[in-house]
């Protein structure tokens, strides 16, 4: 199996030993504590689950600046984005060196992790601006990732953490949320050697389904891991339980047995385009995938990024040898009226736009809201029905 990034073994930060876990939970209740941001909570969950291995905790400002500027930490190791715990103030923890981090996304703010603080640093406006520009390629406050990153506070708490729970992901999505440890174990149990991962924050229409089949066939893969984001999205995106049901129905009906896993991970979307694509590849290697599909405008939002910037960054900016996972570069896929099948648009140079069945997201949402299924060349009818039920429930 492919090795985790920067190590021979995965290094999840969740405390699995039950006695240690109980002792830490007991200790945490008496520690000074702070309710952290949703983005920091997602970072803690990802570290606990092993996706961000071998990070041992939240980055200090020097490491965060290095990750933003050139994807390299001060010790020379690779990480593509800052992983920070930014807070507005330290009133509740004072100068304590050992604290409990509390979950902002669960009622009652339960303890998420215990942290040993190595540094408490003020982050200057110029430093925030540099990190924002490098990671998001824009400082537009309307960009949802920029708004979330800059809305957390300007005090950085850094140091190792011990993770004690996986927030609402484990309770709200018990059949879907999986740690990198669990996915690696299941890949081994299934006997897969070559595995392609597919990232999604949306339901999968026919073009997405066929793209996965194409990648599996061309790469000679044993298995596919459909890995959906379960955390916070932007307004208007389809909720995770609906996506989950739609994707599971598609896999049940249109993939051979033991060829696809439907899983999810707990993290808030950054919408950071190219830089987030590298992060996605990083944690897919940690979960055991050997290949990763990156298509047009991967992890983008609006028109902040070029259509294929998320592919070119791997050749132009990622340090050589930083990742072993291989990228399957995909173009937009759509149904060809000429060929009577889904194709990558770049592989049909004799086609015009009119030769494809192309529907905007707005158009599809309008159809679903009226109870109309999109054409069978766009969406499987069984998937469409699940989405119709959701959109009509909003009326």
The CA–CA distances, whole Å, from 55 to 108, 268, 286, 290, 362 equal 28, 18, 12, 21, 40
Distance CA 7, CA 52 (A): 12
Say how far apart CA 56 and CA 13 lie, in whole Å. Answer: 7
316, burial (CB in 10 Å: exposed 0-12, middle 13-18, buried 19+): exposed
Q: Helix/strand/coil (H, E, C) string of 206-270? A: HHHHHHHHHHHHHHCCCEEEEEEECCCCCCCCCCHHHHHHHHHHHHHHHCCCCCEEEEEECCCCC
63 CB-near residues (< 8 Å, 6+ apart): 73, 74, 79, 82, 158
In 3D, which of 156, 150, 167 has the Cα closest to residue 57? 156
Burial of 96 (0-12, 13-18, 19+ CB in 10 A): middle
Catalytic status, residue 202: yes
Joined tokens for residue 326: 């291989």
Q: Are the beta carbons of 43 and 50 closer than 8 angstroms?
A: no
CA distance 360 to 133: 29
User: Which of the residues 109, 202, 248, 365 is marked catalytic?
Assistant: 202
| Joined tokens for residue 72 | 């390299």
Q: What are the respective helix, strand and coil percentages of the chain, to the nearest 5?
A: 35, 20, 45
Beta bridge partner(s), residue 369: none
**Angle at alpha carbon of residue 361, lines to 178 and 391, rounded to 5°:** 70
All residues at 6 or more sequence positions from 38 whose CB lies less than 8 Å from its CB, including other chains: 104, 105, 148, 231, 232, 268
Q: Which of 154, 201, 248, 365 is catalytic?
A: 201
395 in catalytic set? no
Residues annotated as part of the active site: 201-202
């Amino acid at each position: 199996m492919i090795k985790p990034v920067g190590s021979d073994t995965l290094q999840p930060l969740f405390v699995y030993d039950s006695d240690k876990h109980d002792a830490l939970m007991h200790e945490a209740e008496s520690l000074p504590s702070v309710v952290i941001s949703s983005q920091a909570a997602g970072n803690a969950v990802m570290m606990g689950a092993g996706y961000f291995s071998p990070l041992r905790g939240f980055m200090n400002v020097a490491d965060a600046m290095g990750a933003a500027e050139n994807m390299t930490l001060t010790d020379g190791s690779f990480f593509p984005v800052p992983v920070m715990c930014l807070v507005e103030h330290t009133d509740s923890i004072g100068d304590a060196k050992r604290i409990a981090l509390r979950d902002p996304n669960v009622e009652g703010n339960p303890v998420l992790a215990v942290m040993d603080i190595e540094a408490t640093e003020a982050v200057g406006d110029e430093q925030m601006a540099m990190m924002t520009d490098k990671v998001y390629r824009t400082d537009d406050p309307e960009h949802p990732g920029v708004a979330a990153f800059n809305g957390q506070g300007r005090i950085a708490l850094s140091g190792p953490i011990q993770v004690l729970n996986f927030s609402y992901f484990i309770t709200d999505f018990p059949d879907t949320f999986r740690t990198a440890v669990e996915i690696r174990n299941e890949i081994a149990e299934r006997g897969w050697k070559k595995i392609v991962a597919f990232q999604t924050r949306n339901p999968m229409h026919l073009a997405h389904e066929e793209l996965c089949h194409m990648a599996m066939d061309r790469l000679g893969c044993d298995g596919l891991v459909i890995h959906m984001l379960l955390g916070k999205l932007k307004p208007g995106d389809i909720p995770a339980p609906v996506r989950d049901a739609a994707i599971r129905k598609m896999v049940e009906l249109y993939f051979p047995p033991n060829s696809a896993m439907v899983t999810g991970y707990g993290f808030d979307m950054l919408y950071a385009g190219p830089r987030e694509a590298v992060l996605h590849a990083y944690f897919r290697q940690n979960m055991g995938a050997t290949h990763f599909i990156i298509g047009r405008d991967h992890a983008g939002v609006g028109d902040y990024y070029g259509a294929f910037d998320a592919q070119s960054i791997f050749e132009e900016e990622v340090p050589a040898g930083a990742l072993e996972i291989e990228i399957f570069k995909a173009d937009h896929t759509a149904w060809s009226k000429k060929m009577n099948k889904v194709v990558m648009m770049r592989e049909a140079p004799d086609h015009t736009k009119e030769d494809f069945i192309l529907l905007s997201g707005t158009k599809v949402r309008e159809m679903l809201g009226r109870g109309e299924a999109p054409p069978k060349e766009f969406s499987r009818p069984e998937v469409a029905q699940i989405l119709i039920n959701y959109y009509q429930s909003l009326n």
